[in-house]
Amino acid sequence: MSSIIDSLPPNLAKIVQRFQRATDPKRRYEQLIWYGQKLKEFPEADKLPENKVPGCVSQVYVKADLVDGKVTFQGDSDSQLTKGLVGLLIEGLNGLTPAEIVQLTPDFIQETGLNVSLTPSRANGFYNIFKTMQKKALECQI
């Protein structure tokens, strides 16, 4: 089990460990909401179709920029829990290179224990957000 954590980038590994310590599902939700609250304000002007995450029940937007070879994400959602998922991923993936982001698999969500707490549509949304962030990281290189 720890081998997955060992293979994660440091920020993502810290997040997974934080969630593993929160054994109560309510506590995990509180943590998720906290990640959403940490997000910087997402500019209205960036709420464009090309920044919208497809396949999500909620309105989710993600934007990526490449700064000194590292990806910096911004994101937002109209749902508190989904915004938390966006915040978690941004915290975990910001500062990585596009290659590092593309190599990641979404398996780490199982390690957080969130997958058992999330509804199927939210779990699906998480994967869609993750895949969109990978796609945007790749586009940054071009």
- Residues annotated as catalytic (active site), given as ranges: 56
Query: Helical H runs in 9-142?
Result: 10-21, 25-38, 80-93, 98-103, 108-112, 114-117, 120-141
Check if the beta carbon of residue 11 is closer than 8 Å to that of residue 92. yes
Please give the Cα distance from 128 to 114 (Å, whole number).
15
Question: Which of 37, 141, 52 minimizes the C-alpha distance to 97?
Answer: 141
